[in-house]
Amino acid sequence: MHEFSIAMDIVDIATSSAMKEEATVVKEIEIEIGQLSGVVMEALEFSLEAAVKGTILENARRNLIIVEGKARCTQCLTEYDTDTLFKPCPMCQACAPDVIQGRDLRVKSLIVE
Ligand SMILES: [Zn+2]
């Protein structure tokens, strides 16, 4: 499952940054998920549940934030919201979007102790 390896990466990233701060417990983790990242939210939550077992993230509150997709038309430069990578421009109907937001998945912040 795609989401499981993503969950493992999140745990790795969070664990190493918590270690850098000499934290022993992570209280909260904030994760940003782009609407266009291709990640299935439910699958990711389920995978995280398993991936945090036995790590310092085990009891952390997980805050998953969806980042909306945004594209810029490469023909007329209109910016518009999109939930797919191929949505045509609402102004000129060209199907040449340049995705400018919502593609990434990242650990935004950690609250540690
Ligand atoms: Zn356009």
Strand partners, 33: 66, 105
Is the pLDDT score of 113 beyond 90?
Answer: no
Nearest to 81 by CA among 67, 93, 90, 69: 69
Q: Which residues surround ligand 1, an ion (CB under 5 A)?
A: 73, 75-76, 78, 89, 91-92, 94
Q: How far is CA 81 from CA 27, 35, 93, 111, in A?
A: 33, 11, 14, 31
Q: What is the pLDDT of residues 60-98, one digit of tens each?
A: 999 999 999 999 999 999 999 999 999 999 999 999 999
> Structural domain tally of the chain?
1
Distance from Cα 98 to the centre of ligand 1, integer Å: 11
Distance from Cα 85 to the centre of ligand 1, integer Å: 14
CATH number of domain containing 37 = 3.30.2320.80
| Domain of 92, in residue numbers | 2-112
Report the pLDDT value the prediction gives residue 61, as an integer from 0 to 100. 97
Distance from Cα 95 to the centre of ligand 1, integer Å: 8
Q: What is the pLDDT of residues 31-56, one digit of tens each?
A: 999 999 999 999 999 999 999 999 99
**Continuous segment of H or E residues that includes residue 27:** strand 26-34
Q: What is the pLDDT of residues 59-70, one digit of tens each?
A: 999 999 999 999
